[in-house]
Amino acid sequence: MYQLALLYLAGLVAGYGFTLLEPTGFIGADITNFFNVVGVIAMIVFGLATFWVGIKALVGSFR
């Protein structure tokens, strides 16, 4: 279960990395905007998934 949580955290960090891309010579502004949107969506999805794994572990510890 902890490996799954670490995988979700890695996805969260990767989404953050996508939002930090800056336009360069071979990456245009349009594709940078696309990566920003993808990064934000990834951070939201993987953040919620990490939260869900934590809630399941918390509830499971009370049983």
Residue 13 — pLDDT band, cuts 50, 70, 90?
very high
The pLDDT, as a whole number, for residue 25 is: 77
DSSP assignment of 1-63 equals -HHHHHHHHHHHHHHHHHHT----SSS-HHHHHHHHHHHHHHHHHHHHHHHHHHHHHHHHHH-
Give the domain ranges of the chain: 2-62
- pLDDT digits 0-9 by tens, 22-52: 888 777 888 899 999 999 999 999 999 999 9
Percent pLDDT > 70 in the chain is 97
Gyration radius of the chain's alpha carbons: 15
Q: Band the pLDDT of 10: cuts 50, 70, 90.
A: very high
The pTM score is: 0.81
How far apart CA 45 and CA 39 sit, in angstroms, is 10
